């Protein structure tokens, strides 16, 4: 995702001449500021969008809250007033923006608790699961991608690329159920080893045993998540390494008589890592959104599950809150990715 202000940036970039450390630093700062400005603009648009789009959804929230029960008009009115739905739309919007800036995301219709609290409760489990999954997927993807790209065309390359693509194209839900059946329930003589519901046992022990308990609950959801997403890191790493291999500097390094793996580690890989870094940052934004499907399969009490539930009710405030959080996280991470890339790659600065 690019920010709308991108068009305005080359001037700032050109101002920083290559080789001049101080002005390069200033250039980066200016670049970062312009990116941040763009991000703020995007966030403002998201705020507007969130408010109006969710009001276009079908269904009267008050009636949905009643869930088919017979409510008197007086009760409906009271409920409407309580939710502030009786005010003109513009007033509602102003309230919404003001509250959001004060980090007050309102009270969930369904849970009758502050949205921020609900999000807070779910953020931890999501970061734990999706974060761990991301770290594993990135490490695995980069390692396999490097090996595959360095010696592309070999059996290892064909096998790992093929396997990752296969996993990438498999429906997450199906794969999750399959893993649950094999490693959770057990098939034939293979006993099920891992739990497949929730983040902890109901009678969870304390201390270190608790950490083990949570870890065992993480195995299957994490495995599912990693299996499905690691292909993208593998493929990006592989192709960018293959590109580097054909570059002159690699040939030069080889000609200098450096050992093969030294050329790979010291010369080719650092350069090839750049696109992967961007991808990782972009992914971190989505991590906050959680992995809805995986969380649902394994009843993982995360944000994805919360967002999904908010949509099904529909619970406007909860939807707004989770949606805002997820989009803001994605925007912030994209901006960071741009800035970091700018720092890492001189070509972007001088381009």
Partner 1 sequence: MNPFLAVRLVSTSIHRWMYGYLTVPDSKTLQPSPDLAESWTTSEDGLTWTFKIRAAKWSDGQPVTAEDAAWTFNKMMTDEAAKTANGPAVENFESVTASGQDLTIKLKAPQASMLENPVPIMPKHAWESVTDMANYDAEKYPTVSSGPYIAVEHKKDQYVKLQANPNYWRGKPKIDELQVIFYDNPQAAIAGLKKGDIDLLGRMTPQEFEAIQNDPNIEAWNTQGRRAAYLQINHGATTTDDKAVGDGHPALKDLKVRQALHYAIDKQKLVDEVQNGLAKPADGSIVPPMYKDFFWEATGEEKVSYDPAKANQLLDEAGYKKGADGVRTMPDGDRKLEFRFTIHTETPIEDKLAEYLTAFFKEVGITLTTVKLESSKFTEETGVTGNFDIAISGWSVNPDPEEVMATHLCSRRPAPGGEGGGTESFFCDDTFEKLYQDQLKELDRPKRIDLLKQMQERLYTQAPIIAIYYTNDLEGYRKDKVTSITPIPEDKGLLYGGSGYWPFYTVDVKAAAAASGGTGGGSNTGLIAGIVGAVVVVGAAAFFLTRRRKSTADERE
Residues that bind partner 1 (CB under 8 A): 58-60, 63-64, 67-73, 75-76, 78, 82, 107, 111-113, 121, 173, 177, 180-181, 184-186, 191-192, 195-199, 201-205, 213, 216, 293, 295-299, 301, 305, 308-309, 312, 314
Minimum distance of partner 1 from residue 330's CB (angstroms):
21
Minimum distance of partner 1 from residue 175's CB (angstroms):
13
By beta-carbon proximity to partner 1, the closer residue of 285 and 314 is 314
Of 270, 258, 232, 265, nearest to 147 (Cα)?
A: 265
By beta-carbon proximity to partner 1, the closer residue of 296 and 350 is 296
By beta-carbon proximity to partner 1, the closer residue of 111 and 156 is 111
Minimum distance of partner 1 from residue 237's CB (angstroms):
32
Minimum distance of partner 1 from residue 108's CB (angstroms):
11
Q: Could you give the count of Cα atoms lying within 13 Å of 152 in the half-sphere of its Cβ?
A: 16
Minimum distance of partner 1 from residue 88's CB (angstroms):
18
3-state secondary structure the chain: CCCHHHHHCHHHHHHCCCCCHHHHHHHHHHHHHHHHHHHHHHHHHHHHHHHHHHHHCCCCHHHHHHCCCCCCHHHHHHHHHHCCCCCCHHHHHHHHHHHHHCCCCCECCCCCCEHHHHHHHHHHHHHHHHHHHHHHHHHHHHHHHHHHHHCCCCHHHHHHHHHHHHHHHCCHHHHHHHHHHHHHHCCCCCCCCCCCCCCCCCCCCCCHHHHHHHHHHHHHHHHHHHHHHHHHHHHHHHHHHHHHHCCHHHHHHHHCCCCHHHHHHHHHHHHHHHHHHHHHHHHHHHHHHCCHHHHHHCCCCCHHHHHHHHHHCCCHHHHHHHHHHHHHHHHHHHHHHHHHHHHHCHHHHHC
By beta-carbon proximity to partner 1, the closer residue of 72 and 246 is 72
By beta-carbon proximity to partner 1, the closer residue of 106 and 149 is 106
Minimum distance of partner 1 from residue 122's CB (angstroms):
10
Minimum distance of partner 1 from residue 290's CB (angstroms):
13
Of 200, 224, 202, nearest to 212 (Cα)?
A: 200
Minimum distance of partner 1 from residue 76's CB (angstroms):
6
Q: How far apart are CA 312 and CA 256, in angstroms?
A: 63
Q: Are 302 and 122 in contact (CB under 8 A)?
A: yes
By beta-carbon proximity to partner 1, the closer residue of 150 and 196 is 196
Q: Please give the backbone phi and psi of residue 279, each rounded to the nearest 5 degrees, phi first.
A: -60, -40
Minimum distance of partner 1 from residue 3's CB (angstroms):
31
By beta-carbon proximity to partner 1, the closer residue of 75 and 154 is 75
By beta-carbon proximity to partner 1, the closer residue of 184 and 275 is 184
By beta-carbon proximity to partner 1, the closer residue of 73 and 257 is 73
């Amino acid at each position: 995702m690019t920010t709308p202000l991108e068009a305005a940036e080359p001037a700032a970039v050109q101002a920083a001449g290559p080789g001049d450390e101080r002005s390069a630093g200033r250039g980066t700062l200016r670049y970062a500021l312009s990116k941040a400005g763009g991000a703020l603009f995007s966030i403002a648009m998201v705020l507007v969008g969130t408010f109006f789009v969710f009001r276009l959804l079908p269904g009267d929230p008050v009636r949905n809250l009643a869930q088919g029960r017979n409510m008197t008009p007086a009760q409906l009115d009271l409920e409407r007033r309580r939710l502030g739905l009786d005010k003109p739309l513009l007033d509602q919007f102003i309230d919404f923006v003001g509250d959001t800036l004060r980090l007050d995301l309102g009270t969930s219709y369904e849970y009758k608790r502050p949205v921020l609290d609900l999000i807070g409760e779910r953020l931890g489990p999501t970061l734990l699961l999706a974060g761990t999954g991301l770290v594993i997927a990135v490490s695995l993807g980069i390692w396999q991608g490097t090996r595959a790209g360095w010696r592309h065309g070999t059996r290892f390359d064909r096998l790992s690329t093929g396997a990752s693509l296969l996993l990438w194209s498999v429906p997450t839900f199906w794969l999750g159920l399959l893993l649950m059946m094999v490693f959770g329930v057990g098939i034939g003589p293979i006993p099920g080893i891992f739990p497949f519901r929730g983040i902890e046992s109901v009678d969870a022990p304390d201390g270190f045993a608790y950490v083990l308990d949570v870890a065992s609950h993480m195995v299957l959801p994490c495995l599912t998540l990693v299996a499905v997403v690691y292909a993208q890191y593998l493929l990006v790493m592989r192709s960018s390494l293959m590109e580097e291999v054909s570059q002159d500097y690699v040939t030069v390094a080889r000609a200098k008589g450096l050992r093969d793996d030294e050329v790979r580690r010291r010369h080719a890989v650092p350069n090839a890592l750049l696109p992967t870094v961007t991808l990782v940052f972009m992914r971190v934004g989505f991590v906050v959104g959680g992995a809805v499907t995986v969380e649902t399969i394994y009843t993982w009490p995360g944000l994805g599950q919360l967002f999904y539930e908010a949509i099904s009710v529909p619970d406007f405030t909860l939807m707004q809150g989770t949606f805002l959080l997820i989009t803001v996280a994605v925007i912030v991470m994209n901006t960071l990715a741009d800035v970091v890339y700018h720092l890492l790659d001189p070509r972007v600065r001088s381009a």
